[in-house]
Amino acid sequence: FIYKQHKINNQLKGFVIAPGPPLLKHFHVFNTELGILPNLLDISNKYGGRVKLDYFYGMPILLITDKDLIGHILGTKSGLLKDAMYELMEKWLGDGVLTCKPDKWKTSRKMLNPAFSVPLLQTYVYSFENSVRVLIEKLKSEVGNSGFNVLPYLSLCSLDIICETGMGIKLNAQQNKNSQYIEDIDEIGAIILRRLFSPIKRLPFTYRFTKDYQKELEVVARIRDFTRKVIDDRKRTKASRTSNNTDEKNKEYSLLDMLLEAESDGRILTNEELIDEVQTFLFGGHDTSATSVALSLYCLSKHPDIQDKVVSELESIFGSNDRYPTPNDLNEMRYLEMVIKETMRYYPPAPFISRMIDEDISFNDVFIPKGIPAMIFLYGVHMNPDYYPNPEKFDPSRFEKETKPYSFIPFGSGPRNCIGRRFATLEVKYTVAQILRNFNVLEVPGHLPQRTTSIVIRFKNGMMIRLELR
């Protein structure tokens, strides 16, 4: 075992091996709720873009912020195999496209890509209206409040949106907060988060003896049961749906409809496979988008001059008309798009992704022997002063020019990048635009969001803002 650790250190080329105490090694870096991101950023600043750490003696991990190496890893076959972090989601997401192994992934991704084609994305935009209309009404109740956490509102709205576009159902989560399904989605997220940083819960054998294990089985069974019923319902409606009104049909078209028609390996998907994919979209598309909207609002509350520029842009598009945005309107929101990009640079909703290097990699002066997990530290890339001068400054105008290749990667990169990135950009733009057309977003003096780390970032003290009617 000891020989193996020496062998890895000797074989690895082009990496700094970060010193750490014997045995515990870099446990202190990860064993902190609020400190992981700043700790990893300090390490990248101190040792550079390629560092070898050990969670614990014998558990190596490569911390990578070198954009060219990231481009190489994510762009080649070595970037297809996810590491053990994603296994925590397997009970819930099964063999869905986010978590599955490379062989299955190729067929799944090919089958799912058409669901995010431009014409379908445009039809999804029209279905945002209902959910965002309810959101605006709900937010009106907070006008004049001296500060409130906007994230729960956005999270429910985003869940409504993804359920309508993903499964074709109106969940009405915003009106119906106490539904079992919504509680279950929240609970499963919390269980995964608790497992992520608990050595006892990370190990499958010891995890079986914890309460979370039993809870996870119950919750996953209920979630999958719910989705199974939605799928059965949808199959029945589809069978009886009249096909002569194309507009109506397009309007109702959901990702699930597409999956019901899709073939994988020359056959229709089974119910279990459908559940895996639908749940994957729900997981991938719910918290990430809500967090991006919340962060954009927070950044705009801190920078009223930038908010004014976005509002002028919206006025030039809509004038005094209070219609809801069309896909064309969203295309015209160029400055807002730069603001959202800068927000995602500053606060990438998924601060790191990881891969298991399953074949030796030689790239320039770098050699990585197979069998080591690599953490692609997106936040570290975005905060690198070589790629973004004065990285601590919030400055949307950085995105007036093209960014350097692989230096802006909030949606990952390469063939396994985020399949929902265009959808997310539309949803985030749409929601932020509607909020700004209705409200002036103000800061809560002294509030600084405390980022805790999960697969998607979370905030220990919420995302506080104030609202005034515009």
Q: What residues make contact with ligand HEM under the rule CB under 6 A?
A: 82, 97-98, 109, 280-281, 284-285, 288-289, 292, 349-350, 353, 410-412, 416-420, 423-424
Using alpha carbons only, what angle is made at residue 345 by residues 470 and 456, rounded to the nearest 5 degrees? 90
Q: How far from chain centre, in Å, is Cα 89?
A: 14
Nearest to 309 by CA among 201, 200, 394, 426: 394
Rounded Cα gap, residues 341 and 349, in angstroms: 11
Measure the CA–CA gap between 374 and 89, rounded to whole angstroms.
19
- The HSE-up count of residue 180 (CA atoms within 13 Å, CB side) is 10
CB of 277 to ligand HEM, least distance (A): 8
| CA–CA distance, 375 with 355 (Å, rounded to integer) | 7
Q: Which is nearer to ligand HEM, 289 or 453 (CB)?
A: 289
| Helix, strand, coil shares, percent, the chain, to 5 | 55, 10, 35
Structure tokens at 272: 């279990």
From the CB of 86, what's the least distance to ligand HEM, in Å?
7
Nearest-approach distance from CB 306 to ligand HEM, in angstroms: 19
Q: Residue 127: which of 334, 327, 420 has the closest Cα?
A: 327
Q: Measured from the CB of residue 420, what is the shortest distance to ligand HEM in angstroms? A: 2
Considering the complex, state which of residue 100 and residue 219 has its C-beta at the smaller distance from ligand HEM: 100
Q: How far is the CB of 206 from ligand HEM (least distance, A)?
A: 26
Residue 458 or residue 466: which is nearer to ligand HEM going by CB?
Answer: 458
Nearest by Cα to 409 from 459, 355, 352, 452? 352
Token pair belonging to 228: 């199974």
Choice between 15 and 408, CB closer to ligand HEM: 408
Cα–Cα separations (whole angstroms), residue 75 to 28, 332, 344, 386, 416: 32, 31, 21, 22, 8
Closer by beta carbon to ligand HEM, 165 or else 384: 165
Task: Give whichever of 8 and 171 is closer to ligand HEM, judged by the CB atom.
Answer: 171
Q: How far is the CB of 7 from ligand HEM (least distance, A)?
A: 28
Residue 418 CB, shortest distance to ligand HEM, in Å, is 3
Distance between start and end Cα atoms, the chain? 65
Q: Which residue is nearest to ligand HEM (CB)?
A: 420
- Residue pair 273/262 in contact by the 8 Å Cβ criterion: no
Q: Which is nearer to ligand HEM, 98 or 150 (CB)?
A: 98
Task: Answer yes or no: is 100 a known binding residue.
Answer: no
Contact, 108 vs 93, CB < 8 A?
no
Strands (E), 21-124: 50-54, 60-64
To the nearest whole angstrom, how small is the minimum distance from the Cβ of residue 53 to ligand HEM? Answer: 19
CB nearer to ligand HEM: pick between 311 and 419? 419
Cα 145 from Cα 463, distance rounded (Å): 14
**Closer Cβ to ligand HEM, 70 or 311, answer by number:** 70
Torsion of CA 266, 267, 273, 279, to 10 degrees: 70
Q: How far is CA 284 from CA 75, 235, 287, in A?
A: 21, 24, 7
Min dist CB 85 to ligand HEM, Å, is 9
Q: Which residues are annotated as a binding site?
A: 418
Q: Which residues are annotated as a binding site for heme?
A: 418
